[in-house]
Amino acid sequence: MDLKEFIIPAVDIKDGKAVRLYKGNPDSAKIYGNNPVEIAKMWEEKGAKHLHIVDLDGAFEGKPKNIKIVENIIKSVSIPVQFGGGLRNYEAVKAILDIGAERVVIGSMAYQNKEETIRLINDFPEKIVIGIDAKDGKVAIKGWLEKTEYTPIEFAKLFDDLDVWGFLYTDVNRDGALTGANVEGTKKLAQSLKHPVIASGGISSLEDVIKLYNIRHYGIYGVIVGKALYEGRIKLEEI
């Protein structure tokens, strides 16, 4: 895997627009475009090999709210799309897979309804990514608003023996803050698991990406990059 492929651009949708949040705060949304479909196409044109789409309205409200936009993105690009945000039941996950998402990210549901999550993993092998959002060392759910008693490794171990695709590890305290990735936390998690880990949160420069890329042999598949791309700190087309 080359460095460009390692970077997964994020398109976060709120109120129908492409935005970025600061440390998961819904009131901190900065708008980067009124048309998320055009933004997704732009990243593909700049050389992205896959995309990470988040329905922020869905994450906060508990059910996907921007399905039509997501469907239009999937139809408009030829690269794989991973989707997360508000997937709290079997039907919601199936609906996203039915419109062509390559993978779906489940976070709150994995914590609140382990049985249904296992059913999804069994019915859609290699399609389910378990989202692990860490806040102050504990897994957070419901759009990062609620902390659980699990550490990231403890939570991941509940699913690591099943046919999941892998895990998405986000350090919420760094997300959108451009403070640098939690390299040590990501490495520790990836080392402890059989399935791959995607890193997320805090990427501020190409140097941050390279730090994770250089330890990918521990099982780190890629890194989701948002604000650093939107602010021009990383230029995908120049890699």
Q: pLDDT tens, 25-63? A: 777 789 999 999 999 999 999 999 999 999 999 888 888
pLDDT tens per residue, range 72-86: 999 999 999 999 998
Q: What is the set of active-site residues?
A: 12, 133
Task: Quote the CA–CA distance of 230 and 222 in Å, as a whole number.
Answer: 18
Q: What are the residue ranges spanned by the domains of the chain?
A: 3-238
For the segment(s) 3-238, the CATH number from 3.20.20.70, 2.120.10.10, 3.90.550.10, 3.40.50.150 is 3.20.20.70
228: confidence class by pLDDT, cuts 50, 70, 90: very high
How many other CB atoms are there within 10 angstroms of residue 224's CB atom?
A: 23
Task: Quote the CA–CA distance of 117 and 153 in Å, as a whole number.
Answer: 18
Between these two residues, 127 and 59, which has the higher pLDDT value? Answer: 127
Are the C-beta atoms of residues 81 and 53 closer than 8 Å to each other? Answer: yes
Average pLDDT over residues 100-126: 96
The answer, as to whether pTM is greater than 0.85, is yes
Across all residues in the chain, what is the average pLDDT? 92
Are the C-beta atoms of residues 56 and 27 closer than 8 Å to each other? Answer: no
- Please, what sign has the CA dihedral across residues 113, 119, 123, 125? positive
HSE at residue 26, side-chain half, CA atoms within 13 A, is 13
Q: Residue 198 pairs with which residues in a beta bridge? A: 168, 222
